Amino acid sequence: MNVIPLPNVFQSLPGSFHVHKDTTINFSGELKATADLLCDFLAESIGSRPKRSNYSSINLTLDFSLEEEQYQLFVDRNSVHLSARTNRGAFYGLQTLKQLATVKDGRLFIDCCIIDDRPRFSYRGFMLDVARHFFPKEEIFRLIDLIAFHKFNVFHLHLTDDQGWRIESEAYPRLTEIGGKRKATYSRRLKGYAGPHQGYYTKADLKEIVAYARSRHIEIIPEIDMPGHMNAFIAAYPDASCLNKEIDVLSDFGISDITLCPGNKEVYQMLSRVILELIDIFDGPYFHLGGDEVPKKHWKKCPRCQKAIKDFHLKNEKELATHFLNYFAEFLRAHNKTPIFWNDGVSEKTSPGAVVQHWKYFTRKKTVKEINRGRRAVLSDYFYLYLDLPYALTPLKKTYQFEPLGKKIKNTANVLGIEAPLWTEWVPDRSKIDFQIFPRLAAVAEIAWTEKENKSYDDFIERLKNLYSHYRKMNVGFAEDKENQPNLFARAWGALSWFQDEDCELRKKKRRR
């Protein structure tokens, strides 16, 4: 069956259903949103939009015995029946239907089949870093459509970092006036700096993004990374750091030792106001607070930090970091939000309701311990799911064969799902986005959706051929077979080259054209 992610229960049948200009559709009123999207797809494919009729060959029906994200699909030569309990489930059935469809000479054919499908994990996420490189809302809309096509339901936006602040704040306008711009951008290939970079989303932009994602059954999770990765904030408001001196928004990449001052009461007040502004926009249950890569060098010499350690009966700067994050975890919970932290910011003393997002290499043992102790988790293992890494380091097969649960996780119900991040230090535009994430994102989709026992890499590679044809129709770039699965020599050379030239793989592709 030429569908990715592979349905969990299916039977292929001979023949196909032919959609023509006289084909009609009927649907339960509750499924109208999905029916409209199906009609849009058919109109784009054959130039004719099906009319609604009580006696139709295409039917969308409610079935309350199914789970929220489950759908059932029956296609024979005479009819198409899609059943779901919710619009969400019907929407996933529609994505399957799209991949089963073939257009020939202006006519559309849908492969006959029987499918009963539901996802393995409830959290199927993609993350885009818009701080290192800013992408306009139109690009976000495009990516929402593409991840929805792969049945993802979470889009995590990394909105702030040392290199840029990308969200409008009415309370603190300097965050975008100063923090939303940087003077230059470092390039390994150039061995120097490219020109300035700037951009941010207005509140109206963010509301549009949230609404558009909601229509595709995707939750947008905002992230304000703190107390590290905050140079753009500090450039706008220097008093927020322990050093209390003016700095620039960073033009280089890496970990800055300048962080927010967790002993400064005004920092808590400022961030609380910013978070409140975002809570009014992002209506989902989760809010990401970062918490990763926090150098504590300046805290050791900061009178305010040392006073906070003493006042709150903390042992050291590490506990001060936990105290800082727990403050905002409780603040979010008071506003009906669940906090998420990167795993290197989580300890046994971290608020128990906070979700841990595992990413850091060589720390999985600690994360597994947290999961088995009862903490919920999202898994984003660096060497398998980081989409910004070159294919030389993380080829397609390596990603596909990643097993999230492993043998050491006992409380598997605490694993919400997986998320594939795209960090954009070296990803400045759409062509690089597409090359980095496709087709690896298809592999991630199958990890998240398809049960382990139903997966096969050889079968996945065969099904990719059909997916590639859909990518081409949607004008989506991707790394082709030799590019996404280089041989051992090419991997070794490619890895060495990437550390000198971040665009080496994509430029090699362009030279072959």
pLDDT tens, position by position, 148-170: 999 999 999 999 999 999 999 99
Kind of pairing between the strands at 24-27 and 58-62: parallel
Show the tokens assigned to 362. Answer: 């060589």
Cβ atoms of 502 and 494 closer than 8 Å: no
Q: How far is CA 484 from CA 430, 432, 490, in A?
A: 18, 14, 11
* Averaged pLDDT for residues 363-380: 97
**Residue 304: CA count within 13 A, CB half-sphere:** 15
Residue at token pair 């489950």: 70
Check pLDDT > 90 for residue 82: yes
DSSP string, 106-161: TEEEEEEEEEEE--S-SEEEEEEE-SSS---HHHHHHHHHHHHHTT--EEEEE-EE
Q: How many CB atoms lie within 10 A of CB 405?
A: 15
Per-position b or e across 109-125, b if 16+ CB within 10 A of its CB? ebbbbbbbbbbbbebbb
pLDDT surpasses 80 at 96: yes
Interacting residues of 100 by C-beta distance below 8 A, sequence separation 6+: 1, 2, 3, 75, 110, 111, 113
**Is the CB of residue 289 less than 8 Å from the CB of residue 223?**
yes
Question: What are 232-249's pLDDT values in tens digits?
Answer: 999 999 999 999 999 999
Q: Which residues are bridge partners to 288 per DSSP?
A: 223, 340
For residue 472, what pLDDT is reported?
A: 96
The pLDDT score that the predictor gives to residue 104 is 86
In the predicted structure, residue 109 carries a pLDDT above the cut 90: yes
Q: Where in the chain is the domain with CATH 3.30.379.10?
A: 9-117
Which class for 139: exposed (0-12), middle (13-18), buried (19 or more C-beta within 10 A)?
A: middle
DSSP 8-state assignment for residue 10: E
**pLDDT for position 451:** 98
- Are β-strands 338-342 and 286-290 bridged in parallel, bridged antiparallel, or unpaired? parallel
As a whole number, mean pLDDT of residues 376-390 equals 98
381-402 burial code (b ≥16 CB/10 A, e <16): bbebbbbbbbbbebbbebbbeb
Q: CA triplet 138, 155, 384: central angle to 5 degrees?
A: 115
pLDDT 10s digits, 310-353: 999 999 999 999 999 999 999 999 999 999 999 999 999 999 99
Q: Residue for token digits 């926090």?
A: 294
Of the listed 133, 150, 156, 229, which one is catalytic?
A: 229
Residue type for position 384? Y
Catalytic residue (choose from 161, 344, 425, 503): 161
Q: What is the model's pLDDT at position 285?
A: 98
Average pLDDT estimate for 457-462: 98
Q: Express each pLDDT in 42-79 by its tens digit.
A: 999 999 999 999 999 999 999 999 999 999 999 999 99
Count of Cβ atoms closer than 10 Å to residue 170 Cβ: 9
- Distance of alpha carbon 480 from alpha carbon 151, whole angstroms: 22
Question: In percent, how much of the chain has pLDDT > 70?
Answer: 100
The mean of the pLDDT values for the chain is 97
- Mark whether 293 is an active-site residue: yes
Question: Is pTM, for the whole model, over 0.85?
Answer: yes
The tens digit of pLDDT for each residue in 276-306 reads: 999 999 999 999 999 999 999 999 999 999 9
CATH 3.20.20.80 region(s) of the chain? 161-192+218-354
Please, which residues bridge with residue 51 across strands? 24
Residue among 139, 205, 277, 293 flagged as catalytic = 293
pLDDT (average), residues 131-149? 99
Nearest alpha-carbon partner for 18 in 80, 73, 71: 80
Task: Answer whether residue 383 shows pLDDT above 70.
Answer: yes
Number of CB atoms found within 10 A of residue 286's CB: 22
Question: Across residues 166-180, what is the average pLDDT?
Answer: 98
CATH value of 9-117 in 3.30.300.280, 3.30.70.2190, 3.40.50.300, 3.30.379.10: 3.30.379.10
- Distance from C-alpha of 420 to C-alpha of 131, rounded to nearest angstrom: 17
What does the pLDDT read at residue 320? 98
Q: In which residue are the tokens 């005479």 written?
A: 78
Cis amide prior to 227 (ω within 30 degrees): yes
Return the CATH architecture of domain 161-192+218-354: Alpha-Beta Barrel (3.20)
Task: Tell me the torsion sign for CA atoms 237, 243, 248, 253.
Answer: negative
Instruction: Look at the block and give the residue holding tokens 């669940």.
Output: 338
Question: Looking at residue 513, what is its pLDDT?
Answer: 62
